[in-house]
Amino acid sequence: MTSPTPIGWAISRQPVAYNTAVQLMENRAAAIAAGDARELIWLLEHPPLYTAGTSAREADLIDAARFPVHKTGRGGQFTYHGPGQRVVYTMLDLRRHRRDVRAFVESLEAWVINTLARFSVRGEIRCGRVGVWVPGLGVDGKGEEKIAAIGIRVRRWVAFHGLSLNVDPDLTHFAGIVPCGIADHGVTSLAALGRNATMEEVDAALRATFTELFADTILEPEPAPDDAVQVMT
């Protein structure tokens, strides 16, 4: 019985420019598909910005002048990235796991839900709405708000882009868009729910729950992709 091939686990300590991150991610995904690099989970933060997925509607960009807007090849609509939000780019070869894109998205949702449970937060999914929601936040206890967004792209069976989890971002920054095209519900964060978790604590929870969900994997620390860029410049 052969041992599983380790997956890289990298964390950027400084905010990474969006275009830089996308280029590094594209390069790594191509190398994974060619068999020249191992899979990678990359955790980072971005400066404040909006991204427009392949299904984004112009009407959902409420304030185009507020932050830079980046068109991106991931699925989904408009979303916000910024400090206090943990972005997780998952460069995983579905040929090694399961060649089922919908099942992969569901595994990312389950990963977030299991991570939230570590902080005593109940995350749920909704039919027809990709992402993770926290229920019971309206005055009548029947509302819900989104705490994590998910958007991926798959090329040559390698999935990339990934998810974003609101730890303690400035939630007013979401006001420049209709997040994920859903106007009837708001957004929340661990901090807004009274969970004052540090980014390091969230990262530790993400790592622990990933290995629980993908029991046949081994995570090995490696330098963040942007570290190599900084060394080269």
- Whole-prediction pTM: 0.92
* Helix and strand counts by DSSP (H, E) for the chain: 4, 12
What's the pLDDT at 129? 78
Q: With b meaning 16 or more CB within 10 Å and e meaning fewer, what string describes 11-43? A: bbeebbebeebbebbbebbbebbeeebbbbbbb
State phi, psi for 99 to the nearest 5 degrees: -80, 70
Tokens 């007013």, residue?
172
Instruction: Report which secondary-structure segment, H or E, holds 94.
Output: none
Give the chain's mean pLDDT. Answer: 90
Structural domain boundaries in the chain: 7-232
Structure confidence by residue, pLDDT tens digits, 20-54: 999 999 999 999 999 999 999 999 999 999 999 88
Cα separation, 221 vs 81, in Å, equals: 24
CATH superfamily to which 7-232 belongs: Bira Bifunctional Protein; Domain 2 (3.30.930.10)
Structure confidence by residue, pLDDT tens digits, 80-103: 999 999 999 999 999 988 889 999
Cα separation, 168 vs 184, in Å, equals: 22
**Active site residues per annotation:** 180
Q: Which residue has the higher pLDDT, 172 or 182?
A: 172
Cα separation, 229 vs 24, in Å, equals: 9
The set of residues, in sequence order, having a beta carbon less than 8 Å from that of 182 and lying 6+ positions away, is: 129, 146
